[in-house]
Amino acid sequence: MRCAADPTERRDLSAEHPEKVAELERALTAHDAEQEPSSWLPSISRAVTIDKDRSVPEAADDEYIYWSN
């Protein structure tokens, strides 16, 4: 990351650092393998804005992820 040059992390650096991407993917896979399966199924899945809380009005160019409770 280059926090001073890109404080909102808008620039994707993955193509420039494939070795770091691979390292992080291995770490995430190892972490996931250690977790117990969930005891509760999600009851809903909804779109949630990225880097914006619900007090800020939605805009046409907002970015979303889908989040299950």
> Can you give the pLDDT at residue 6?
84
3 part of a folded domain: no
Q: ∠ CA(39), CA(47), CA(4), 5° rounding? A: 105
Return d(Cα 29, Cα 48) in angstroms, integer: 24
Q: What is the pLDDT of residues 5-46, one digit of tens each?
A: 888 888 899 999 999 999 999 999 999 999 998 888 878 888
> Which residue range forms the structural domain that includes residue 63?
18-68
59 part of a folded domain: yes
Return d(Cα 1, Cα 26) in angstroms, integer: 19
10 part of a folded domain: no
9 part of a folded domain: no
Inform me whether the pLDDT recorded for 1 exceeds 70.
no
> Can you give the pLDDT at residue 15?
94
34 part of a folded domain: yes
- Global pTM exceeds 0.85: no
46 part of a folded domain: yes
2 part of a folded domain: no
40 part of a folded domain: yes
